[in-house]
Structure 1
Amino acid sequence: MDREMVDTTGRDRLHVSVQRYGTKAVVAPAGELDHHTADLLREPLDTLIEDGFGTLVVDCTQLEFCDSTGLNVLLGTRLKAEAAGGAVHLAGMKPAVAKVFAITGAEAVFTVHDTLDDALKE
């Protein structure tokens, strides 16, 4: 598999890493995703869509917090990816993050996997 790792480090509260696997990419935010840090996740996601990656997997295993701004980044990314013929999958959500998706109903519009390995099998 083609694999490249790029680290995008921003504010002390959110770090985002990107790994490319052929036509799939794994984006792993670590920390707190909110209105102060949302662009740190939005920018690499938008770039991957522009670069033609068909499947984006957001690895949420290290995401400690997600507010409505973070949720909107992911929802917007899903719409952009689908318009380009791709998809966005979420993997490994912690209970606090999963609760935001459940309360808002956003879990119904994403393909959610328990683990990153499960998401990469799609």
Structure 2
Amino acid sequence: MSPRHGTHFENTSVPAPLLRITTTTIRDTAQILHLHGEVDHDQRRPLESALERAVAERPPLLVVDLAGLTFCDSTCLNALLRARIAACAAGIPLVLAAPPAQTCRLLEITGADDVLTIHDSVRAALAGTEPRVG
């Protein structure tokens, strides 16, 4: 079979960016989970595992840096809320830092911003400044 001349097929589907999670530990101060990419159903397990590990390590403060998050849906929100419950049970303050606009909107719509402690930046979270209000 010969290819048809003049016919052009282009793969326009672009795979969603995978979730990348990096960790920074500040000795005797905090552990910071930096989230980069998208969190949806397909990326649920890596996020849940990272949050579970972080709580198990019992840092004095657990900061989840959302600045690099490009998409967050109910899957992400549920993981964060479950991590908050586990962290509270372990006596660990869990705070969110630098949520992008889409994530802020999700937190506001669901009322999760009343339950989760949210700071404008990692620096503010580490400094213990007043959390952002609505």
TM-score, with normalisation over the residues of structure 2?
A: 0.79
| Residues 1:46 and 2:20 are matched in the alignment | no
1:91-112 deviation digits (Å, cap 9, x = unpaired): 1111111100000000111111
Amino acid at match of 1:13: L
Amino acid at match of 2:60: G
- Once the two structures are superposed, the pairs formed by residues 57-68 of structure 1 within 5 Å of their partners are 57-68=63-74
Amino acid at match of 1:93: P
* 1:29 positional shift: 0.8
| Residues 1:22 and 2:27 are matched in the alignment | yes
Measure, in 1, the Cα distance between the counterparts of 2:44 and 2:59: 21
Structure 1 unaligned spans of 5+: 1-10
Measure, in 2, the Cα distance between the counterparts of 1:49 and 1:84: 8
Structure that is richer in strand per residue: 1
CA RMSD of aligned residues (A): 1.3
| SS of structure 2 residue aligned to 1:90 | strand
Measure, in 2, the Cα distance between the counterparts of 1:104 and 1:60: 17
Amino acid at match of 1:39: R
* 1:54 positional shift: 2.7
| SS of structure 1 residue aligned to 2:78 | helix
- Once the two structures are superposed, the pairs formed by residues 1-122 of structure 1 within 5 Å of their partners are 12-23=17-28, 24-122=30-128
Give 2:131's aligned residue. none
| SS of structure 2 residue aligned to 1:52 | coil
Structure number, greater radius of gyration: 2
8 Å CA contact retained: 1:54, 1:81: no
> In percent, how many aligned pairs have the same letter?
34
After superposing on structure 2, the runs of 4+ consecutive aligned residues of structure 1 that deviate more than 2 Å are none
| SS of structure 2 residue aligned to 1:85 | coil
